[in-house]
Amino acid sequence: MSSAADRIAIISDVHGNLPAFEAVLADISARGISTIHCLGDLVGKGPSPAEVVDLSRQMCTTTVQGNWEAMVAGDGDKRTHHWNRAQLGIERLDYLRDLSGSTQFRMSGRNVRLFHASQISVFHRVHQYDTREAHLGMFENTDFTGDGPPPDIVGYGDIHIGYVKSFADKCLFNTGSVGNPLDITQACYAILEGTLDSETPAPWAVNLVRVPYDIDEAVRQAEASDMPNIPAYVDELRTARYRGLPRVR
């Protein structure tokens, strides 16, 4: 890849984890990358949703809505939804409610589409080991994505497990999670490289970046708060294991 290639950072699923977010932003800055696309779930789970939303609004070029934004800014009725609403306040909730569902652009002659969970909605989940048909479906135009040019490259978040899969002249990748990874106990994000806004075929690449961060500090911040579900959150940070799912093979 040429040193003159454009580079875009793509992050997702910060989940109110400020130490992880700050570590990822520092790594992005150290690489000289200034364009950051966020694929949602800034809030939920962790103790710092307001701080994370404010920092994202300052640093991210584009942000799309995740399922947690839809629930917290909507009518989610669990204790954690109410707690997040109280931390965020009216103005931030209005911002999260109005976020779009997807974004699309050209890079190296290919159409790139980014969304939180899938082509169907922020609540429709597609896992790494789902069927080929489910993965190919991620490239379809739907009422949720709109009628733009069908994508050649699709990036998403939601499942907290980073991976890259190429097939049928297409590429599907998951950014992993910044603040609540469920595969490796390090923050994860993606870098997309190529020639931005170009119709001419050119080299391009997707890379996943793992960033160590101060998990002990993230735990301290959680335990110093009155947020719900602290033991489960701390366990996930320390083990990268969601108790409802097996560890990735």
pLDDT at site 242:
79
Contact of 118 with 86, CB cutoff 8 Å: no
Name the strands in the sheet holding 163-167, side by side, starting at the edge strand that comes first in the sequence. Answer: 102-107, 110-115, 153-156, 170-174, 163-167
pLDDT(150) > 50: yes
- Helices assigned H by DSSP within the chain: 18-30, 49-59, 67-72, 79-97, 132-137, 215-223, 230-239
- Is 143 exposed, middle or buried, given 0-12, 13-18 or 19+ CB atoms closer than 10 A? exposed
pTM of the complete model: 0.95
pLDDT in tens, 105-126: 999 999 999 999 999 999 999 9
Q: What is the mean pLDDT of the chain?
A: 95
Q: Which residue has the tokens 């306040």?
A: 89
pLDDT at site 168:
83
pLDDT at site 42:
98
pLDDT at site 227:
98
Contact of 226 with 86, CB cutoff 8 Å: no
Mean pLDDT (whole number) for 48-59: 98
pLDDT in tens, 203-241: 999 999 999 999 999 999 999 999 999 999 999 999 999
Mean pLDDT (whole number) for 40-60: 98
pLDDT at site 248:
40
pLDDT at site 243:
65
Distance CA 196, CA 163 (A): 22
Mean pLDDT (whole number) for 27-39: 98
Percent of the chain with pLDDT over 70: 96
Cα–Cα separations (whole angstroms), residue 79 to 75, 94, 102 = 12, 20, 28
pLDDT(246) > 60: no
pLDDT in tens, 165-178: 998 899 999 999 99
pLDDT in tens, 177-186: 999 999 999 9
Distance CA 110, CA 114 (A): 13
Q: Which domains does the chain have, with CATH numbers?
A: 6-239 (3.60.21.10)
Identify the band that residue 2 occupies on the pLDDT scale cut at 50, 70 and 90.
low
**Two tokens at 81?**
């939804």
pLDDT at site 144:
97
pLDDT at site 3:
54
- Is 249 exposed, middle or buried, given 0-12, 13-18 or 19+ CB atoms closer than 10 A? exposed
